[in-house]
């Protein structure tokens, strides 16, 4: 589906999406580089952050490069195999983002509610286990969608009302039975959305309860500031996801749904490196150390 039928807008869209893609990739690569090279950031919190940055790079790379090529070539055709591959990779990395945000919420819960036991609880083995389980969780959701799609092949010449192979759009094409479609959507939504969000909300419930017991306002601010960046990213991630859901459900225009999906898949990963670098004193200190070494 073309985002705009006006040919005069195509160069502007090409430059915009290319710029967003480069900023997102370079910003997240910088986070990964800083975390991996600065010994002060070798902690569970930044280990998860570097994995989140890697996931964001892969997430945006599943949709934007193909969209940029389509704008340049004036073609929106994608092969059957290519569509399934794009859908599978998209689901893997969006679910991985979701799982990592949940793990990071648990990390903040342990750091604030059990500070003396933080390093013993969040040891290297547990951190590696969390990453492994997060990837398995993402792979399971992706395989579930792929197995459903592989049972149906009559949408090979269909038109998808979006700029990428949106899983929900493919489900509408391959599943004519409304009951089956709703069962699949609610089941997948409960596993990939409700469970991680419940974990995040429970962690922050415990965090807020613990912070409220701190007597001084300075101590409360210092404790809450350690999870401010994560909370901002969570609100951005789920806020745009919920916005896309309501826009898609309440709008009869495929173009409006595509624009809403665009905000979620393209522009959501871009602010994450800036949120963590601008709101995090450790990252800013590491950036200053790197700058001093290079000058």
Measured distance CA(259)–CA(23) in Å, rounded:
20
CA-to-CA dists, residue 215 to 80, 218, 221, angstroms: 60, 9, 11
Measured distance CA(263)–CA(270) in Å, rounded:
10
| 3-class DSSP assignment, residue 235 | helix
- The pLDDT confidence band at residue 146, using thresholds 50, 70 and 90, is confident
Domain-located, residue 227: yes
Domain-located, residue 2: no
Element (H, E) at 169: helix 167-174
Domain-located, residue 107: yes
* The model scores a pTM over 0.75: yes
Query: Has residue 84 got a pLDDT over 70?
Result: yes
- Compute the mean pLDDT over every residue in the chain, rounded to the nearest whole number: 81
Domain-located, residue 1: no
Mean pLDDT of 197-209: 91
Evaluate whether 110 touches 122 at the Cβ level (below 8 Å): yes
* Residue 281, domain CATH: 1.20.1070.10
Q: What pLDDT does 220 receive?
A: 79
Q: Which of these, 89, 85, 69, lies nearest to 77 by C-alpha position?
A: 69
Q: What is the pLDDT of residues 40-78, one digit of tens each?
A: 888 899 999 999 999 999 999 998 888 888 888 777 777
Q: What pLDDT does 98 receive?
A: 92
Please give the tally of structural domains in the chain.
1
Mean pLDDT of 77-98: 86
Q: Which two tokens stand for residue 63?
A: 């949709």
Measured distance CA(90)–CA(55) in Å, rounded:
10
Q: What pLDDT does 71 receive?
A: 81
- What residue numbers bound the domain in which 131 lies? 7-294
Q: Which of these, 147, 148, 157, lies nearest to 80 by C-alpha position?
A: 157
Measured distance CA(56)–CA(130) in Å, rounded:
17
Q: Which of these, 121, 146, 62, lies nearest to 97 by C-alpha position?
A: 62
Supply the Cα-derived Rg of the chain in whole angstroms.
Answer: 21
Query: Has residue 161 got a pLDDT over 70?
Result: no
Domain-located, residue 76: yes
Provide the CA 38 distance to its chain's centre, in angstroms: 25
Q: Which of these, 204, 27, 247, lies nearest to 101 by C-alpha position?
A: 204
Domain-located, residue 131: yes
Evaluate whether 134 touches 79 at the Cβ level (below 8 Å): no
- The pLDDT confidence band at residue 158, using thresholds 50, 70 and 90, is low
Count of Cβ atoms closer than 10 Å to residue 120 Cβ? 10
């Amino acid at each position: 589906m073309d985002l705009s039928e006006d040919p005069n807008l195509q160069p502007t869209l090409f430059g915009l999406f290319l710029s967003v893609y480069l900023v997102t990739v370079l910003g997240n690569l910088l986070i990964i580089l800083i975390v991996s090279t600065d010994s002060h950031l070798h902690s569970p919190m930044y280990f998860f952050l570097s994995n989140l940055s890697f996931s964001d790079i892969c997430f945006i790379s599943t949709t934007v490069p193909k969209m940029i090529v389509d704008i340049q070539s004036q073609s929106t055709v994608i092969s059957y195999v290519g569509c399934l591959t794009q859908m599978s990779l998209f689901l893997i990395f969006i679910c991985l983002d979701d799982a990592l945000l949940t793990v990071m919420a648990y990390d903040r819960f342990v750091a604030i509610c059990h500070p003396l036991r933080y390093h013993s609880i969040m040891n290297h083995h547990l951190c590696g286990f969390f990453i492994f389980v997060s990837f398995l969780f993402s792979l399971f959701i992706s395989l579930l969608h792929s197995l459903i799609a592989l049972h149906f092949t009559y949408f090979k010449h269909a038109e998808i009302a979006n700029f990428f192979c949106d899983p929900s759009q493919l489900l509408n094409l391959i599943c004519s039975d409304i009951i089956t479609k709703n069962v699949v959507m609610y089941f997948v939504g409960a596993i990939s959305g409700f469970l991680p969000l419940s974990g995040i909300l429970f962690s922050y419930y415990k965090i807020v309860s613990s912070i409220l017991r701190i007597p001084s306002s300075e101590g409360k601010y210092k404790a809450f500031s350690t999870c401010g960046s994560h909370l901002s990213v969570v609100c951005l991630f789920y806020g745009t996801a919920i916005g896309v859901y309501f826009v898609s459900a309440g709008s009869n225009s495929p173009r409006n749904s595509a624009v809403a999906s665009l905000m979620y898949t393209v522009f959501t990963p871009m602010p994450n490196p800036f949120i963590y670098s601008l709101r995090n004193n450790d990252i800013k200190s590491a950036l200053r150390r790197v700058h001093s070494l290079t000058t």
